[in-house]
Amino acid sequence: MKIVEGVNLHLIKVQKFKNNHLTLRFTGERLKKTLAKRVLVAQMLATANADYPTSQKFRKALAQLYGTNLSTSLSTKGKAHILDIDLEFINPTYLDEQGFQHKIFELLYTILYRPLITLEQFQSKVFDVEKANLMSYLESDKEDPFYTSELNLYDLFYQDENLKISKFANVDLVEQENSFTAYQEFQRMLREDQIDIFILGEFESALILEEINRFPFQARKVYKFVNYSQEVFNVTKEKLGRRNDYQSILQLAYHLPLTYGHKDFPVALVLNGMLGGFAHSRLFTQVREKEGLAYSIGSQVHPYTDLLQVYAGIDRHQREKTLRMINREWHYLKSGRFSSQLLRQSKQLLLNNYALAEDSPKTLIERRYNKLYLGQQDQNPSTWAEKISRVTKADIMQLARNIHLQALYYLEGDK
């Protein structure tokens, strides 16, 4: 339901949840120059505002709204950077109190239009604390070898500079920002980002629309979401790093010739499940359990970019043997040397996971967003299940033959 151009309201009526869920989503372009600002905005919006100028007062106000839960989160979808404001609150039909739902929307209004500012910038005292917290968090992430090796892999694989950086930015980018630049970015988001408001649960549509119409949203351009794809290189990029650790990390990036919404995307999901996505997968059972080469190993598809990632925590003396074993498993997929049971198990687990996700309000909201903006018009469970069930051995073989290794990052432990 269009409120103004670029601002839409989505009503999802379900009766199986005790609480209602409200998500206001900002969608903007994923740019290196704005990442840190947007992360800082997310922290400020969840911490304080003009009506509740301290974290303690804000949390007390939420508690008085029958334990309403507020959070902000960040995600990426290809070339999009997304900031969500999430409110989970008790279904008003369970309460005798009149006007409870109005209080929820008044709180959202406060978060958006009465932020904690001094002149034209976020209040410096609170902002400086949140900035320090973010930098501390990002510094601690550097101690995680899987995280740091993953970022190095992205730096090798992606040709677009904006996709090389974590959705949470990095210490150097955060250091450059201040209370003024972050607040100006927030104001730009309010004016220019695509905004989607999702209400999930039990409610009266007319009352929701009446509340939303109070918000002074201005028309803006609709964000033209596109999945990110890049050309295939014939040469594999390689890089070596070293770390004072007992474990070494091997990260491999493969070019996947499709992204979310492609008719063969279900094939990619099944292939990933067979390769390293599940505990019964070939990498797990053969490389880790049978050969004992990896402390941990797996694979994942990045749905909105053409990346299939394989990762392994290994002993530094086992790098070459592990690589040979991973290459062998790819050869088996390409040549059809895998059991029908492996194919069947992978499809069944995907179907089970899809069904279980129906119990997550956030997943239902995500599916609605994808259906509207990513060209996936057949996301009802029966159609999706049918597509997974139809994946054949020949489909797996054909796709595997078109997947190419593009980048290798090796973080060697030197203990």
Half-sphere exposure (Cβ direction) of 215: Cα atoms closer than 13 Å: 29
| Alpha helix (H) residue ranges in 264-408 | 265-272, 282, 319-335, 340-356, 361-373, 381-389, 393-400
Whether the pLDDT of residue 377 is over 60: the answer is no
Average pLDDT of the residues in 353-382: 82
CATH for 237-413 (3.30.70.260, 3.40.50.360, 3.30.830.10, 3.40.50.300)? 3.30.830.10
Q: How far apart are CA 157 and CA 151, in angstroms?
A: 10
Could you tell me if 388 and 38 are in contact, meaning their C-beta atoms sit under 8 angstroms apart? Answer: no
Whether the pLDDT of residue 65 is over 70: the answer is yes
What distance lies between CA 157 and its chain's CA centroid? 19
The domain segmentation of the chain, as residue ranges, is 2-214, 237-413
**Strands ordered across the beta sheet of 19-29:** 2-4, 7-13, 194-201, 19-29, 80-90, 69-77
Q: Which residue has the tokens 């992205």?
A: 154
pLDDT score for 385? 87
CATH fold label, 2-214: Cytochrome Bc1 Complex; Chain A, domain 1 (3.30.830)
Query: How far from 20 is each of 10, 12, 57, 61, 66, CA to CA, in Å?
Result: 13, 10, 23, 18, 12
Same fold, 2-214 and 237-413: yes
pLDDT score for 310? 98
Question: Tens of pLDDT along 174-214?
Answer: 999 999 999 999 999 999 999 999 999 999 999 999 999 99
Predicted TM-score (pTM) of this structure: 0.94
Whether the pLDDT of residue 384 is over 80: the answer is yes
Rg of the chain (C-alpha set): 23
Greatest Cα pair distance in the chain: 68
The structure tokens listed for 233 are: 């290189």
Q: Is 69 helix (H, G, I), strand (E, B) or coil?
A: strand
Arithmetic mean of pLDDT over the chain: 94
Continuous segment of H or E residues that includes residue 200? strand 194-201
Query: How far from 342 is each of 271, 278, 281, 315, CA to CA, in Å?
Result: 10, 10, 7, 28
The structure tokens listed for 80 are: 């999009």
Beta bridge partners of 356: none
pLDDT score for 56? 96
